[in-house]
Amino acid sequence: MRTSPNVIVTGTPGVGKTVHCEQLAQEIGLKHLSVNQVAKDRDCYETYDEERKSWVVDEDKLLDAIEDEVLQGGYLIDWHACDLFPKSWIDLVVVLRCPSTAVHYDRLASRGYHEDKLQENLDAEIFGVLLEEAREAFDEEIVVELNSEEDGDVDSNCARVTQWVNNWKKQHGETD
């Protein structure tokens, strides 16, 4: 039985997943698991998509690569998708949203995203694709939607997640 929860922090590129995970890792001591970094470090790719200029992750290989760690608990899983993870691995799904198309566009443009990839990500955000995927893949009560648009949002979002983690630990017998 895990003594610390596993939390997925998901959302389209540019909504602040990594910033949130880094701050939460410092504040509550969970380990930041960047799926992009794991895929690179452990060669979990199927192929390279020339059109999108990005690698396509081999999801089965990725899950095999992280299973032993994640099953121990205590991870902040940082990735743009959540529906590949088994329900039994995950205790909370945080879907970060950036409602302002202008803010989101600027964030993606500053990363040098190709126009097609930029537009695809903006469309996914506008239509709430990742929120819908989360709600379909996990029980509704563990899926939380948080805005990540303004400067103060990171601190307030991290405070909410920290409170949730502390409550989870109390309910599961760990005292801090």
Q: Domain for residue 1, yes or no?
A: no
Provide the CATH number for the domain around residue 149: 3.40.50.300
CA 173 to chain centre: 26
Confidence band for 52, pLDDT divided at 50, 70 and 90: confident
**In this structure, which amino acid lies at residue 105?**
Y
Q: Domain for residue 42, yes or no?
A: yes
Closest CA to 108 of 128, 130, 125, 94: 125
Q: What is the pLDDT of residue 5?
A: 97
Percent of the chain at pLDDT above 90? 87
Q: Please report, in range form, the residues annotated as the binding site for ATP.
A: 14, 16-19, 111
Q: Domain for residue 175, yes or no?
A: no
Q: Domain for residue 110, yes or no?
A: yes
Does pTM top 0.85 for this prediction? Answer: yes
Whether 21 and 92 have beta carbons less than 8 Å apart is answered as no
Q: Domain for residue 176, yes or no?
A: no
Q: What is the pLDDT of residue 174?
A: 59
Q: Domain for residue 169, yes or no?
A: no
Q: How many domains does the chain have?
A: 1
Q: What is the pLDDT of residue 176?
A: 47
| Residue range of the domain that includes 59 | 7-163
Residues forming beta bridges with residue 144, ordered by sequence position: 94
Q: Please report, in range form, the residues annotated as the binding site.
A: 14, 16-19, 111
pLDDT digits (tens, 9 = 90+) for 56-87: 999 999 999 999 999 999 999 999 999 999 99
